[in-house]
Amino acid sequence: MKLARLLVVLSMVVAACSGSTEDTTTAAPTSTEATTTTSFTAGISIPTTSPPQTFEDAGAALAFLFEFNPLTGNADELRDALERAGGHRFGLATAEWLLLGNEAIREAVIDALAQGGQWNAQILTAMITYGTPLGTYEVRQKWDPNVRVGLVEAQREAMDATYGDTSAIALVVQQRMLESEILRCFDEPTCSWPGVWYDPPQSVALIEGSPTGTSFVGEVGIVSDTGELLFIPITLEQTSEQWLITDGYLTEVRTPVAIVENPIDGIHIVENFAALFGFAEPGTTVTVGTEVIEIDGGQYWEAGVALEPGRNEITVRVSNASGGEATIQKVVFHHPNGEERLGYVTLGETPGTLQFNEVTILYGAEADAAAIADGVIEEGSTLPGGFYIFDEDPLEAIEVPLVADPFVVLFDSAIEAVPVSYESFVSFLGGAASTGYYGNLPAEPYWLLIDGGEAVQIQQQYVP
């Protein structure tokens, strides 16, 4: 399937996810047979039942795959076509099929990828490393947990089937190759995340050589984006958790890849300790203050920093075996005398203020009792979510002064905490469209961090 059509279909998913929270769709059938016409989403319907077709040769199968629609397609036909197509590059459409297809379609795709082959192994590594193509390099959108479990198991089977006893080495080379190509692409002004995701330019064809103890010296066969097979010397050393490339292919000096996911730059906190965590590629060393973290097998890291009152500049230094270095800085404001209060907010009558109605989140039996007393649920019932936002006096509100430019944190549609301007927040409270953000913002509860009688920060409370 052509990239343009993929992106058009996937943009429908983005629109569906970022629009109204009301569910107006009908689930796609879970059996492997198509069913009688049922509306799935605007302008798309599922056709009536028909016997699954079979394919005489790879050409017919590939023609079917190029036109396959995961919303209306038949899983048995897809499975047969994938088997007939063999090692051809059907994988460009796998993201669309996994995102939009029903359970039977997803199983057919994952089973086909698990059969192995250099390109199947490569696309599996890309999907696990990058997440879905709907995210970005910095904010990766995770696969549905069931899909991710299937991808990880398929990757193990595909790597073993393709590379045998050098599968662990091939996996490391693939991961490094993907990160290297991402960095190379983002040096170009025309680079885009979907373009990178859908067009991995190289794949590992084979590994020549055998491990000797904890060392491997040999060659890696690389299929370039022009189809040429290149043999390049490579040396790896085995650590306690995995193989690391130490010489030859991909060991030129390059900037290490690392992301600090927490804290949000500019955040205000009451605690005197900031928790940091993020992502870094294997073989990277992350240094935060005196704490040194070696990234061997896993790609996530965490660290902690003690804070002084006021503004704190936290420096994260990253280095790799090639000699590349990078620095990431975060600013955190510590308010030792601050107070955090949760409640509903509206714009105050006095400029530079909010009307604040304080609430409490209750859990378990205490939540059930409060909900029963408020008439929300019947006697003897329990709350489905196990919590209750208790408002002791809905009519009582206080006016809270704000600092000149309070820091505001909201959840986006992917439920990632992101900073927004106070001006945007005011417009949302006034009823402006908040597309791309989670929840009904005027009706959500917020944490106010109050210091010296003024709110310095407004942070949305996540409510499922």
What was the pLDDT predicted at 267? Answer: 96
User: How much is the pTM?
Assistant: 0.53
- Cα 229 from Cα 250, distance rounded (Å): 16
- Burial string for 8-35 (b: 16+ CB within 10 Å, else e) reads ebbeeeeeeeeeeeeeeeeebbeebebe
- Cα 122 from Cα 203, distance rounded (Å): 6
What was the pLDDT predicted at 90? Answer: 56
- Residue pair 234/208 in contact by the 8 Å Cβ criterion: no
Q: How far is CA 265 from the centre of its chain?
A: 19
What was the pLDDT predicted at 315? Answer: 94
**Helix and strand tally (H, E) in the chain?**
11, 22
DSSP three-state, residue 102: coil
Give the relative orientation of helices 118-130 and 167-185 as an angle to the nearest 10 degrees: 60
What was the pLDDT predicted at 16? Answer: 36
- What is the DSSP code (8-state) at residue 357? E
Give the Å distances, CA to CA, from 7 to 3, 12, 65, 169, 195.
Answer: 6, 9, 16, 33, 10
By DSSP bridging, strand 291-294 and strand 325-334 are unpaired
- Cα 284 from Cα 61, distance rounded (Å): 43
Q: What angle do CA 462, 263, 437 make, to 5 degrees?
A: 35
What was the pLDDT predicted at 183? Answer: 67
Q: Where are the domains of the chain?
A: 3-189, 258-334, 339-460
What was the pLDDT predicted at 269? Answer: 96
- Cα 42 from Cα 47, distance rounded (Å): 15
- Cα 268 from Cα 390, distance rounded (Å): 26
Instruction: Give every residue of the chain whose pLDDT is below 50, as ranges.
Output: 1-51, 88
- Residue pair 410/435 in contact by the 8 Å Cβ criterion: no
Q: Write the single-letter amino acid at 302.
A: E
Rounded to a whole number, what is the largest CA-CA distance in the chain? 77
- What is the DSSP code (8-state) at residue 137? S
What was the pLDDT predicted at 141? Answer: 83
CATH topology of domain 258-334: Immunoglobulin-like (2.60.40)
- Cα 139 from Cα 284, distance rounded (Å): 20
> Per this entry, what is the length of the chain?
464
- Cα 398 from Cα 426, distance rounded (Å): 18
**What's the N-to-C CA distance of the chain in angstroms?**
36
Burial of residue 416, with CB atoms counted within 10 A of its CB: 0-12 exposed, 13-18 middle, 19 or more buried: middle
- Cα 315 from Cα 273, distance rounded (Å): 15
Question: What would the two tokens of residue 24 be?
Answer: 């107006």
